[in-house]
A and B are shown apart, each in its own frame.
Chain A
Amino acid sequence: MQNSRRLFLRASLAAGTAAVAAAAGLLVPQTVLANWPKKAFETQDMETAIKEISSLSELTPSDLIKVKTPTVAENGAVVSVTVKHSIPDAESISILVPKNTSKLAASYLLSGQIASFVTCRIKMRETSDVIAVVKAGGKLYSGKSRVKVTLGGCGG
């Protein structure tokens, strides 16, 4: 959780939007927006995306991470990705797509209560690996799966 707190404290967005959210009363101001890692989501470089979202660079491939995706995605607008792992004390799971414009799709900051998996649906521009990066104990572990994206829905 220390890392999440560090991310929260990294204020970078205009006070105005935080005020709107606070006024809506739904989210506590210091946990909203101030911590959205803009650079991580906007960079077109995989290494920068990984560094910005996790503060670390080196990836260690691990068999303890399974990335479940369809082998072939007829519709690149909705590709289901499930990351299942058994790495102890995982702090975060990030999902990256090297062939997309925005390399970082999503990052999940975990508490000890999350048991073993997260699932999300992402857009994929073309056939690409989907890489899951789990941060635990000051290291990054990775797993990946390849998704073939066809256009036109006929599998041609």
Chain B
Amino acid sequence: MAKKMKIRAFSGDNGIAIVKALIFHPMETGLRKDKDTGKTIPAHHITEVQVEHNGTKIITCLWGPTVSKNPFLSFDLKGAKPGDSVKVSWVDNLGKTESGEAKIS
């Protein structure tokens, strides 16, 4: 079964954790043409990503079609301890949603 996203979160010094998420998504701009049919491939890209730390929203990402295919997201987070949960949820322009969760190690 294909994995929808990979999330790694690890704690460092001073209670600051680093979160890395790799989300599998085509991120079509809507400007590309299919080589065989010549038809424009419709836009299909993530519009919003929400990240929660222990249930509290910490970052909202607004993405456009410029973000690369299989988008990568990384940031650092204050006040994070090993065992805390990090949840990443996204929605795309077609209304599809997906989410994943990881514990800070």
Contacts and interface: CB of A to CB of B under 8 A. Distances in A.
A13 to B, nearest CB: 9
A111 interface: yes
B40 to A, nearest CB: 14
A80 B68 CA distance: 9
Contacts of A116: 76
A53 B31 CA distance: 22
A2 B78 CA distance: 20
A4 B60 contact: yes
Interface residues of A, number: 45
Secondary structure dominating the interface of B: strand
B85 interface: no
Contact of A119 (B53, B74, B78): B74
Secondary structure dominating the interface of A: mixed
A121 B50 contact: no
Given A27-B97, A114-B59, A116-B76, A123 B91 contact: no
Nearest to A28: B50
A114 B31 CA distance: 34
Given A4-B60, A24-B97, A37-B62, A114 B75 contact: yes
Contacts of A110: 58-59
A20 B95 contact: yes
B27 to A, nearest CB: 8
Interface range on chain B (Cβ under 8 Å from partner): 35 or more
B31 A101 contact: yes
A106 interface: yes
A113 B63 contact: no
Contacts of A16: 95
Nearest to B31: A101
Interface string B55-97: 0111111111111110111111111000000000101001101
B78 A113 contact: yes
Given A31-B50, A108-B62, A120-B67, 4 more contacts: A35-B48, A119-B73, A122-B67, A123-B66
Which 3 pairs of residues, A with B, have the shortest CB-CB distance? A41-B64, A105-B66, A20-B95
